[in-house]
Amino acid sequence: MGPSAVLQVALGERSYPITIGPGLIDRADELLGPLLPLRRTVVVTDENLARTGHPRRLEAALERAGIACRTLALPAGESTKSWRFLEQVVDEFLGGGVERRSVVVALGGGVIGDLVGFAAAVTLRGIDFVQIPTTLLAQVDSAVGGKTGINARFGKNLIGAFHQPKAVLIDTDVLDGLPLRELRAGYAEVVKYGVIRDAGDFFGWLERHATGLFAGDAAVRVEAIRRSLAIKAAIVAADERETTGERALLNLGHTFAHAYEALAGYDGGILHGEAVAVGMVKALALSVRLGHCAPQELDRLRGHLDALGLPTRTSLVTNRHFPADGLLAAMGKDKKVEAGRVRFVLVRRIGEAFTTAEVGDRPLREVLDEG
């Protein structure tokens, strides 16, 4: 058994554990068995994962605990976060005989986790679910915090609910099978935590150790995920439903990223984490332009992203042109718009972020026009 860690998301009666470590899917009988009182469950995954051994490993572990599984495999990709597949998942739950005490399982990346969480939230007015995220991006971001939902034609994640999981199981072994591009995309969200919150100089720790994460160092992977989620768990506990503004810090780079993704059409040409990497660079460039932080902070972020092979501008990922007018229109449809004004997450230095709606059109256009 390799290195492991356990965190708690402190939300009173909705609190739940996050367990991080290698080989955890094979220990689902021990770790999840006690959470499934009806001794049966529905596991939702995607077709790419269905071609790996992960769903079967999970089924075998749960069967050892006397838990019967029905597994549904959906198409992979962002387009699965839709009304059509929400209906299919809810039908699978109801057809599988779920009850109010049922616990269903999301085994997959952010698309599966968001979709299954929302389906659980609306089935029988809310049943429990467990997250088993299988991408680095989902492990450090979407699987924790209770944001669930699907996309609308007007933008990402505009339909959904806050619905916290009953537990999160993060098996770091699944990262071995991820393509390098996806691993890098997930790492962008890890960097985000180091930029928004100092937390013992997490960004400095990443500068020293991140190569180990990509090289398969189990201890580094567990520690990077643990430190990322410790920051997220503290922010979620302080502002679960985004009422005080604290949770909005987790959106660093995302206002830009969602606009790039919307104009790209969610076709995989630019991955979410790649868009977030570029978006963080834009957020720091805007912070510099507005006089909030020193240019050296932007240089430090760019240098780290470059060193790990992450894009710092969209032209490094796609040959599409993203005109400022189109990006601004997409930003205007973002969830973070309040009274017609877009709220941005900016920084004073790496490790200290803040939110503001006081961003003029001209500096924003200048940053967007930089490509």
Tell me which residues are annotated as active site.
Answer: 125, 147, 189, 232, 242, 247, 251, 254, 258, 272
Q: Which two tokens stand for residue 67?
A: 């838990």
In angstroms, rounded to a whole number, what is the distance separating the alpha carbons of residues 256 and 180?
Answer: 23
φ, ψ (nearest 5 deg) of residue 66: 75, 25
Using DSSP's 3-state secondary structure scheme, residue 51 falls into: coil
In angstroms, rounded to a whole number, what is the distance separating the alpha carbons of residues 138 and 231?
Answer: 15
Radius of gyration of the chain measured on its C-alpha atoms? 20
Please choose, from the candidates 133, 105, 135, the residue with its C-alpha nearest in 3D space to the C-alpha of residue 120. 105
Q: Which two tokens stand for residue 306?
A: 């470059």
In angstroms, rounded to a whole number, what is the distance separating the alpha carbons of residues 240 and 246?
Answer: 9
Using DSSP bridges, classify how beta strands 155-162 and 147-152 pair: parallel, antiparallel or unpaired.
Answer: antiparallel
Q: Which two tokens stand for residue 145?
A: 């915090």
How long a stretch of residues is the chain?
Answer: 371
Helix (H), strand (E) at residue 141: none
Secondary structure letter of residue 332 according to DSSP = T
Residues 129 and 114: beta-carbon distance below 8 Å: no
DSSP β-bridge partners for residue 349? 352
